[in-house]
Chain A
């Protein structure tokens, strides 16, 4: 049997408001409610609601044959509860069909796995509890922020009892190997690893509407013909992408929804592929070998490394100062402090401080509220300085 495994990332950060030096010590509210609400409503109307409806229709039409998985960050769920309960209902309806798997991740879509294991595990548990409370299911497969993965992060995840984890099929890690098999963690082989087929995923996520792409326009027949052209021994095609691909990155007018609606039919008609959730993949297949990832990888940019979030002076300074707060946050054990602590960890804040995007282009600019990485840094540090004052009280 051969299968397609769809996983979509659903995430919205709590964007920070313009926080001035004069506010330090005086104003302890950090979020831009107006912007967060309006972006949430916009994305809900353009992406979440129509795409959820499309998948619900497909599941109703094809029954047991259409399966998908989502990872929904805790901060996104919080914002659905605040600004878009209708979206949350539509996700619930999908989960209730039993054909949709929800994955585990860190509550605040954070980079904690790279810095503080205790906090990482705390956040994973928080998120698991939240998913249980909202959707009534307990996730079995883990997805780390931005698909960040390394051998030791995999080990943490295995120790927490997860059977599987998904990450990027990064070329520099795979070498001659194919991402289209199940692998296992190099330290703890009990943890199964699913690797993103970035070529086929990005054909949909990034290139679908690109007129300069030689393969434009992408039809479902063409896409299925690429699947058929693969070595028949290659079993699993992992198509991982941001959920905002549908209706946001690729506008409705590009025909992305029509593509989605027609895809299952084309797959069933012209190929022997089926759809499975990550848990089903792990159940049905055996790993072909271990994958060695000594240095963390991610799904971002050409380099597939961490440099979108960490590495320049600004990012490292902000990140290190943030995690210095942990002991004190724990000691205080104050619900308001815990909440801000979570929200300040969201990876997007560090993404906005990236200086690479003078070269790396459009994806980084998407929804970026700042004019420059310097502005993002100054604003973040003003807020963090206030947060530190609260910790010292």
Chain B
């Protein structure tokens, strides 16, 4: 398996999903060699054998694969687009002076490669270099199937397939259209498409994503299989206790404050709720390129004594946020899957999710609204806050529902895909 990140060094849902999936596969006696650009030594390695692409010593022997390097060089496109980049860190890189803190490197380890000068271009160079190393790993290891997660690793997947002749599965956790709307980065799109064309099977994290793959990447439908993500059971520290400093009920948005996540719709809906019921607090946790605009908008709407900005939350703060919340809203404009509502439900928080999200396909006990329908969203928020029967029901059945979503189930489906290609693995 080729990934780009692995817990605990993650920047987005990709690492979490890779972890859950490999863990699930271990239940079916499937051996996984997981390749990431750099390992740190503190990853949970119980289930898999983790390969560090940086461990590969550059020798003469590897140079015989130079042809693949040439092959992928055309994929190097000048750009500074960073997928799954935490926007706060992205801003820091832009502001070149500050990006040396150790915390930074730990959080966004994948950009470690890009510290060498011209940033944007280097990411694509790294993708190509990763592919070169992948071909070496493919030649020197024994395996049956190649599984590549997201576009950053597709070149690696293709290279490994060329060297070994083994079947390739690519896993679409997000498409360029989710990240950028219609203003896509052509270089990223090209790699995504090349990966899916070279693949023997494509796994999409939702039917929503599957449709995008078929319609916008022109991949034959029979090649694309939907396997929904799942969620890991929460493990809260024993002494976890939180004192909420106010009595009002709290409605939470948690995620990157970017176009894709629809923070603007959340603010407009909040205004509508506050107008009717001032005894509610709203929180926007996260940061991103739209944050300043959101702060200004909240000020302009005159709701800032009830609408708070919590900044970027990490680790335990996320659970603290959930345990303070009475409603969780994910108003994403386009969300391939969306694991965070599942985490909220694990914490007994009823959720409102946009119909434009993959997770809407698997959840019954969640309120679903169109991201643009702020009246509907406000109505749903108000309902969950005031009609206890509703929130109680959502809490009760929601938790059950989420607990039944298991990575084993997702892994089972992935295994079926493998079987369809090589028989039993």
Residues of A within 8 A of B (CB): 20-27, 313-314, 316-318, 320-321, 372, 374, 377-378, 381-382, 384-386, 388-389
Contacts and interface: CB of A to CB of B under 8 A. Distances in A.
A384 B304 CA distance: 10
Contact of B245 (A25, A318, A372, A374): A25
Interface of B: 243-246, 283, 285, 291-292, 295-296, 299-300, 302, 304-306, 308-311, 317, 320, 324
B310 A22 contact: yes
Most A C-beta atoms less than 10 A away, residue of B243, B245, B308: B245
Nearest to B283: A21
Which residue, B285, B292, B304, B308, has most C-beta atoms of chain A within 10 A?
B304
B305 A314 contact: no
A20 B292 contact: no
B242 to A, nearest CB: 8
Contacts of B304: 317-318, 321, 377, 381
A389 B246 contact: yes
B88 to A, nearest CB: 11
B299 A24 contact: no
Given A24-B308, A314-B295, 20 more contacts: A21-B283, A21-B308, A21-B310, A24-B245, A24-B246, A25-B244, A313-B299, A313-B300, A314-B299, A317-B304, A320-B302, A321-B304, A372-B292, A374-B291, A374-B296, A377-B295, A377-B304, A378-B295, A378-B308, A389-B245
Given A372-B292, A389-B246, A317 B299 contact: yes
Contacts of B317: 22
A382 B295 CA distance: 12
Most buried by B among A26, A27, A313: A313
A169 B42 CA distance: 66
Contacts of B245: 22-27, 386, 389
A interface: dominant SS: helix
A385 B281 CA distance: 10
Contacts of A25: 244-246
Nearest to B317: A22
Contact of B305 (A21, A22, A381): A381
Given A22-B310, A374-B292, A374-B295, A385 B300 contact: no
A372 B302 CA distance: 20
B302 A382 contact: no
A269 B299 CA distance: 58
5 contacts: A23-B245, A314-B295, A318-B304, A381-B308, A382-B308
Contacts of B283: 21
A378 B300 contact: no
A313 B305 contact: no
B308 to A, nearest CB: 5
A20 B311 contact: yes
The 7 closest A-B pairs by CB, nearest first: A25-B245, A26-B245, A21-B310, A317-B299, A25-B246, A313-B299, A378-B309
A21 B317 CA distance: 11
Contacts of B302: 317, 320
Interface centre among B246, B300, B317, B320 (most CB of A within 10 A): B246
B331 to A, nearest CB: 19
Contacts of B306: 385
Given A313-B296, A374-B295, A384 B305 contact: yes
Nearest to A24: B245
Contacts of A381: 304-305, 308
A26 B305 contact: no
Contacts of B292: 372, 374
Contacts of A21: 283, 285, 308-311
B309 A22 contact: no
Given A21-B310, A24-B245, A385 B305 contact: yes
A30 to B, nearest CB: 14
Contact of B299 (A27, A377, A384): A377
A217 to B, nearest CB: 33
A269 B285 CA distance: 66
Nearest to A25: B245
A374 B311 CA distance: 11
Contacts of A320: 302
A21 B379 CA distance: 25
A265 B320 CA distance: 67
A386 B292 CA distance: 22
A388 B305 contact: yes
A22 B243 CA distance: 9
Among B243, B285, B308, the one with the most A-chain Cβ atoms within 10 Å of its Cβ is: B308
Contact of B296 (A314, A382, A384, A386): A314
Contacts of B244: 25
A22 B300 contact: no
A356 to B, nearest CB: 14
Contacts of A314: 295-296, 299
Nearest to A353: B299
A69 to B, nearest CB: 38
Contacts of B296: 313-314, 374
Nearest to A384: B305
A375 to B, nearest CB: 9
B389 to A, nearest CB: 28
A36 B292 CA distance: 27
B96 to A, nearest CB: 15
A388 B243 CA distance: 18
Contacts of A374: 291-292, 295-296
A385 B324 CA distance: 16
Contacts of B300: 313, 317
Contacts of A382: 308
Contacts of B311: 20-21, 378
A381 to B, nearest CB: 5
A320 B292 CA distance: 20
Nearest to A386: B245
A277 B32 CA distance: 84
A318 B324 CA distance: 25
A320 B300 CA distance: 12
Chain A CB within 10 Å — which of B285, B302, B320 has the most?
B302
A389 B281 CA distance: 12
Contacts of A372: 292
A316 B296 CA distance: 11
B417 to A, nearest CB: 43
A284 to B, nearest CB: 49
B358 to A, nearest CB: 29
A26 B241 CA distance: 14
Contacts of A24: 245-246, 308
Contacts of A23: 245
Contacts of B299: 313-314, 316-318, 377
Nearest to A27: B245
A58 to B, nearest CB: 43
B296 to A, nearest CB: 5
B295 A26 contact: no
A326 to B, nearest CB: 15
A211 to B, nearest CB: 25
A201 B320 CA distance: 54
A386 B296 CA distance: 20
A381 B281 CA distance: 13
